[in-house]
Amino acid sequence: MQWARHPRAPWFLGGLSFAESSFFPIPPDVMLAPMALARPHRAFRYALLTTLASVAGGALGYVIGIFFFELIAPLLHEAGYWEKFELARRWFDEYGFWAILIAGFSPVPYKVFTIAAGAMVMPFPPFLIASSIGRGMRFFLVAGLMKWGGESMERKLHLYIDYLGWAAVAGGVTGYLLLK
């Protein structure tokens, strides 16, 4: 909470959001939630900042995937992300646009999907649209829950965030299959 009240907290949040989308392991929710809780009147402003910085970081991940995949492939193995990267490839083959949208909202490491999108040369405009929708839904949901529910919601969010994310993945896949 002290970091959330720091005068430069929005800068830290933007930097964390950008970095997490392409290479950093800590999700921005850990900073967004306490910031929205500390200043509920700015919750949606923080969600917008987090979304924009995350999508910009996702674009960097996309560029990494296009131009530097051969260099980072060993790092994906070493960091334990290779299996998730292979999952991302399978999802792209099956779902395309929807894979990025769902990954942007879910607990699956988004950075793996941004790099995979670049490595598989997914068209960039749909990538940006799907990223914006998925990340925006996630971060505005977190900010809204903190604004609405306060500290008790923060405790519940920490307990159930992964379950909510996986439920969203299941719902997204089910919706896609029903529409198909």
pLDDT tens digits, residue range 76-89? 888 888 888 888 78
What stretch of H or E contains 125? helix 124-179
**Whole domain around residue 143: which residue ranges?**
2-179
Count of domains forming the chain? 1
The rounded distance, in Å, linking the Cα atoms of 146 and 172 is: 24
How much is the pTM?
A: 0.79
Q: Minimal CA–CA distance to 135: which of 26, 37, 36, 20?
A: 20
Q: Report which of residues 10 and 166 the model is more confident about.
A: 10
